[in-house]
Homo-oligomer: A and B are copies of this chain.
Amino acid sequence: MRSTAANAELALLLEVAGTPKPGNVDREREYPDLLFEHFLAGAVGASGGLARAADPQGPPVGECFERAVAGMSQQSGGNTQFGALLVLVPLVRGAAGRELSPRTASAVARGTTVEDAAAFYHAFEHVNVTVRDPPEGMEPLDVRRGADAVPTLKKQGITLYDLMELSSGRDGIAREWTGGFERSFRAASAIADGTGPITDRAAETYLWLLSREPDTFVADNHGERVAHSVMTRAQEAREGNPELVDAFAESLVAQGINPGTTADVTAAGIFIALESHGVTV
């Protein structure tokens, strides 16, 4: 039996190995400065933080996340799996010493504290993460302020869950935290119901997720309209022949459009499939 922590690390590896995964690094597509090997090193580096999250007596979720991000960042590609770790960590703790379910994971999310929020801000100091400007009046809580935002957090008593609620309108990972990790669990079911290599099932699930909701990381980088158009093109690609998926993939890479949030949710889905659906590699 693979441990919960090992399942989480393996989920990160299987996610990046799935191909074609239009717009994201996969086994066959890289960006010049963001290589497949950066994701391998990111997954291995994150394993210490994931192991702590998998320990029911381990440190608080925020600390586990920060540690996973710090380890993930020990490679020269930059941000490889920040979002994936943000969605994975509450799921891993939700599986620690009990049966993982939307209920256990949501309880972890809702139980986070101001300290967890502070650790989340500290995590941004380890790696450059693309984010949008905060909504008006929220500037003191801009994640790009890193540790400088912590006094405001503490003064206002804002927990990590509160932060996720504040962002859930425009961030797909925050929406997982506040919405019972719904898409992650649906992705897991899709992967579990599939046949053949898991990396193929993961790639299909990625495209399905992409075809259903605009990717919020694309929206952050290129605006809502582009995110919506990518979703529509994902629908067309799924209905067409396999060459259409490849062409879609090439075109997104050429335009530098990277639906990262969808890949993050796919990684979460793979983890749940390994951890609670009995999917074996």
Q: Which A residues fall within an 8 A CB radius of B?
A: 1-2, 6, 9-10, 13-14, 17, 27-28, 35-38, 40-41, 44-45, 47, 74-76, 197-199, 280-281
Contacts and interface: CB of A to CB of B under 8 A. Distances in A.
A9 B48 CA distance: 13
A213 to B, nearest CB: 27
Contacts of A35: 197, 199
A201 B2 CA distance: 31
Q: Among A27, A198, A281, which residue has the most Cβ atoms of chain B within 10 A? A: A281
Pick the 6 closest A-B CB pairs, nearest first.
Answer: A41-B281, A13-B40, A27-B27, A75-B281, A10-B44, A6-B44
A110 to B, nearest CB: 30
Nearest to A7: B44
Contact of A2 (B13, B17, B44, B281): B44
Given A37-B14, A197-B35, A45 B280 contact: no
Given A28-B27, A281-B75, A37 B197 contact: yes
Contact of A13 (B6, B13, B197, B281): B13
A92 to B, nearest CB: 14
Contacts of A6: 44-45, 47
B199 A44 contact: no
Nearest to A6: B44
11 contacts: A2-B44, A6-B44, A10-B44, A14-B37, A17-B36, A17-B37, A35-B197, A37-B199, A38-B281, A41-B281, A76-B281
B41 A36 contact: no
Contact of A10 (B27, B41, B280): B41
A55 to B, nearest CB: 15
Given A28-B28, A75-B280, 10 more contacts: A6-B45, A10-B40, A13-B40, A17-B37, A35-B199, A36-B197, A36-B199, A37-B197, A41-B281, A75-B281
Given A17-B37, A197-B35, A44 B9 contact: yes
A36 B41 CA distance: 17
A41 to B, nearest CB: 4
A193 to B, nearest CB: 18
B37 A281 contact: yes
B13 A44 contact: yes
B10 A198 contact: no
Contacts of A74: 1-2
Contacts of A40: 10, 13-14, 17, 281
A23 to B, nearest CB: 18
Nearest to A199: B37
B198 A37 contact: yes
